[in-house]
Structure 1
């Protein structure tokens, strides 16, 4: 979870590449607001952005210049173009929060207003084709303050239990229950802000019920379960030490539904 960017954030969006063309409208509008007619954000304007938008009241011109230098700022005009600005939001401006250093940001806005430190294939010990799946990389990620853990869930060979693995590859599976228990034990070792478990679901309905039971029994009162449809998400502050689940219908289910619809 990283510092607030005041309506310039994502929730449950997996961002692997950060090309300028993919920058959301909010980012582009902010860049336009703080850049000149040639499409360059100067040291002075980046400094203003840090103070006015990021609320970094102690930010200096030297801080702004260092950010520009880190992201390939235009050497002649000494500033950032859109792609450099977009990239710096994920590193220099919004690094993962370290509770040990103290939290001085406003953490009471809806969760969707924040960048979230997100893992991908969090269970893999190595490459995506032949490595082992394990709870150890998950534990290590949580200890680094990662707040979103991704689990790909599949039926085991007997179709009576659930495993975590990178599907249709040679990766060796790990039991889902082992991963869930490790998440519970280590979820808040580095940060008390909420942990989101994203499930890439490839299960039959009966195994989905089994997963729901596993999750409920494992996390108990730690599990965030809204009593009604939410118009906006709760704040990180109100979700301290809570676990949230993000999932969607299996691709296999959606594909079979699409085929039926064409008949």
Structure 2
């Protein structure tokens, strides 16, 4: 008999004969063996996947508060390429939403003819109309998932064009846009993804609080990014040594009224947040600032994220729209770990891997030790956590090679 031209891998037929019949060549079936190519085909198949197929459908509890979930989040969603000269397009929103993304970013600036525009400010990126972005979101928001979409707004517009933004949001999104608490009362807990099915939340600055609404317009920094009080671009420049300049702008009452469960506030300290902030208020950090908070008292950050939403975004120094490792942010329970979806790589592979489960709905329930406000979990010292039990995965591959 003529020996096969390739080396063959032999293994236990009682366990694998059915796989051989499915995945391998006629010669392999005859020899009860698999080729290198056949083995690779098997590894890439469902049977060879490390993914737990029982987690493919919607299997998690979706009735817990929003802060108890990891939320698939995009940064600079409108960009198709880099942050300096790249193209802005509504296609960025369409692609992200079709991938199950549930938090998209909208950077707004004053445009011609009284129409707000979306682009990466102070760069050569192209510009698109805000109303076109809202229309695309309205059309594709719930194609991949019925659970809520959050519009993370970085607002640089004048009051007049903010009023226009509010008009577009209300007229285009209609009843999908959350304009008040679900039960008409001051919330004592954040609503759940299930309660917000088919709804769209706006995240941004708000005049006053839900408890008391002042009549006058707010004067202050209206940028969505809250890392140190400046815009995303300002926060990214010399983050250790600068006193950022706050732009004193007025916030439209009409736009403010669209902010309900995701009011952006400036972070000062974990103690300050516990003492003064409401559960519907949240902060945003650059990856740089977030890492500093993780290194300080890691457990404090975990406890903070057990009751308040947090959004992390890439530093503006990533002009090529590269990404940071999202895992270290998930390790402390950060819910909205925003990545540049337009940039492929290991970071987006990790993101896709996490959100592949639970019907790709864009919401993944955090483990219990990241949901308790009294947790003692510290990602740097996990062995100190109650119930800590590391999982050890051992893989042994035995290979026999047939010789000519």
TM-score by length of 1: 0.57
1:109 maps to which of 58, 61, 64: 64
* Paired residue secondary structure (1:118): strand
Distance 2:247 2:123 in 1: 22
Distance 1:200 1:190 in 2: 25
Distance 1:255 1:228 in 2: 33
* Paired residue secondary structure (1:116): strand
Decide which structure has the larger Cα Rg and report it: 2
1:132 maps to which of 70, 87, 91: 87
TM-score by length of 2: 0.38
Other-structure match for 1:197: 151
Distance 2:141 2:147 in 1: 9
1:250 matches 2:222: yes
Distance 2:159 2:112 in 1: 16
2:107 maps to which of 136, 152, 164: 152
**How big is the shift at 1:231?**
2.8
1:181 maps to which of 135, 149, 155: 135
1:120 maps to which of 70, 75, 79: 75
Distance 2:61 2:127 in 1: 40
**How big is the shift at 1:230?**
2.3
Distance 1:133 1:111 in 2: 30
1:240 maps to which of 183, 189, 197: 197
Q: Which structure has the highest strand share of the two?
A: 2
1:215 matches 2:169: yes
Distance change (3 Å), C-alpha of 1:103 and 1:124: same
1:163 matches 2:117: yes
Distance change (3 Å), C-alpha of 1:201 and 1:228: farther
**CA offsets, 1:47-84, max 9 Å, x none?**
xxxxxxxxxxxxxxxxxxxxxxxxxxxxxxxxxxxxxx
Distance 1:118 1:255 in 2: 26
Distance 1:107 1:173 in 2: 37
**CA offsets, 1:143-196, max 9 Å, x none?**
0000001010000145x1100000000001000111101101000111101000
**Structural RMSD (CA):** 2.7
- Where in structure 1 are there 5+ consecutive unaligned residues? 1-91, 259-263
* Paired residue secondary structure (2:193): coil
